[in-house]
Copies of this chain bind each other. A is one copy, B any other.
Amino acid sequence: MLPFNLTILGSSSATPTSERNPTSQLLNHAEKLFLIDCGEGTQVSLRRMHIHFQRIKYIFISHLHGDHFFGLIGLISSMHLLGRTKPLYIFGPEPLKEILDIQLKASQTSLLYPLEFRPTQAEKPEMIFEDQLISVSSFPLLHRIPTTGFLFKEKPGELKIKKDVIDLLKVPVHLIPKLKAGADFMAIDGTLHPNSLFTQPPPRPRSYAFCSDTAYYENIIPEIAGADLLYHETTFMNNRVANAIEKFHSTTGQAATIAQKANVKKLLIGHYSARYDDLQPLLGEAKAIFPETELAEEGMVFEI
């Protein structure tokens, strides 16, 4: 199985604290690194975790509240100063482009590498990236300003050939691609052997869904349904549901309810209000509804 894991770089909401960084996550799929949101200090977190940030090729920004992007210009700038030449692709709300450009212009910086900006929109779900192994789609969240979630989904792999059966039944080599494509096999004696005799199904495609920041919003359920891992913000505990509604954030119970209704495998919560020193009560509330819940904390790595 290809590596597919998530490293938490920041779990705080609104402002960094002495202990927690604002939102940022690093997704590794098959050693391709995707950065999701980039709060202030992200480049230092990457350094401290010994992650070589020049390896990041794709950056996804959910929305333009500062705790999700104030670290981006510093990361872009450091990549330049440290000699990057490989392209960097940034997906985010359209005004982000001008915010970056104006700062590069003020410092009279001409980046040594191509910075390719791909604007996102928060009107409807959209496929925004794909390669041979994975696709990324964005979908609207419900927040005070245009905000998208992201779904990272593996592409279905090929059927895997059972070499021992191939040998036993003397299948000609030139037919193997056809078997991989799903064809049956007619032997010389006229017997039709079904494809399933020669192949085993590929691993089930895995997926990771990122939802921060958002109010409780059932419209996202079809987008994230069945995800192996769902990150859903939980800024507040259940007793602060009024704050959550007012600020377009979610409570632990709301996040867990979404996880349950979307039938995901595991829920990861984060984006904690700075008022919570001890996170165990948040975990407890979420688990009461959705037992397969874990806390996002700086430095933790989750296999998907």
Contacts and interface: CB of A to CB of B under 8 A. Distances in A.
Contacts of A243: none
B99 A48 contact: no
B106 A48 contact: no
Contacts of A183: none
A37 to B, nearest CB: 14
A107 B66 contact: yes
A145 interface: yes
A71 interface: yes
Contacts of A40: 40-41, 43-44, 71, 74
Size band of the interface chain A makes with B: 35 or more
B43 A18 contact: no
Contact of A98 (B43, B73, B102, B145): B102
Interface string A62-94: 001111001101100110011000000000010
A299 interface: no
Given A40-B43, A77-B70, A102-B99, A145 B48 contact: no
A83 B263 CA distance: 39
B102 A65 contact: no
Interface in A93-107: 93, 95-96, 98-99, 102-103, 105-107
Interface of A: 14-18, 40-41, 43-44, 47-48, 64-67, 70-71, 73-74, 77-78, 81-82, 93, 95-96, 98-99, 102-103, 105-108, 144-145
29 contacts: A14-B78, A14-B81, A15-B43, A15-B77, A15-B78, A16-B43, A16-B44, A16-B47, A17-B44, A17-B47, A18-B48, A40-B44, A40-B74, A64-B106, A64-B107, A65-B107, A66-B73, A66-B103, A67-B77, A95-B102, A95-B105, A95-B106, A96-B106, A98-B102, A99-B99, A99-B103, A99-B106, A107-B145, A108-B145
